[in-house]
Amino acid sequence: MTNNDYAPPCGLYCGECEHLGENCSGGCGEVKGKPFWTALMKIDICPLYDCAVNKNELEHCGHCAQLPCKLFNEFHDPALGPDEAKQAVLDRCEELKKRAAIGTEAWLETKEK
C-alpha cells in the first residue's frame, strides 16, 4: 500500500528524504505543507504547497498549466548551487509530468520499489 503523504505537490518523493523520521514525522502530506524546514526559513508553510493545494486546489504542481512558474523555478533547496538547482527543477518537472500522466498511486508504486 502506498503512502500519499510521501507525494508532495512539488515533485519530490518524501520517502527518499534523509530527514524522514528524524526531523519530519511522515511526509509533506501528513504535515499539510509545514515540514520542519519552514520554521528554519521563518515561513508558515511551503510556498509550493500553499500555491498548489491551498490556493489552486490542485493535488500537485503537475496539474498546473503554468508549470514551471516563477515560484517553482525559484524555490529550491538553498544548499544547491545554481547548476544543481536548475537540474533539480527540471527533475521535479519531469516527475510531476509522469505523476500527472499515470496518477499518484502508480507514481508512488514506482518510487516505493
Match 500500500 to its residue by C-alpha cell.
Answer: 1
Report pLDDT for 3: 87
Domain regions of the chain by residue span: 4-111
Which residues pair with residue 20 across a beta bridge? 24
- Cα 35 from chain centroid (whole Å): 11
Q: How many CB atoms lie within 10 A of CB 78?
A: 9
Report pLDDT for 1: 64
- Measured in Å, how far apart are the chain's first and last C-alpha atoms? 11
Whole-prediction pTM: 0.91
The DSSP H or E segment spanning 43 is none
70: number of CA atoms within 13 Å, CB side?
A: 0
In sequence order, which residues have a C-beta less than 8 Å from that of residue 31 and are 6 or more positions away? 24, 25
Report pLDDT for 103: 97
In sequence order, which residues have a C-beta less than 8 Å from that of residue 88 and are 6 or more positions away? 76, 77, 80
Report pLDDT for 85: 95
* Sequence-ordered strand ranges (E) for 34-113: none
User: Would you say the C-alpha torsion 35, 36, 38, 39 has a positive or negative sign?
Assistant: positive
Report pLDDT for 76: 87
Q: Which residues of the chain have pLDDT under 50?
A: none
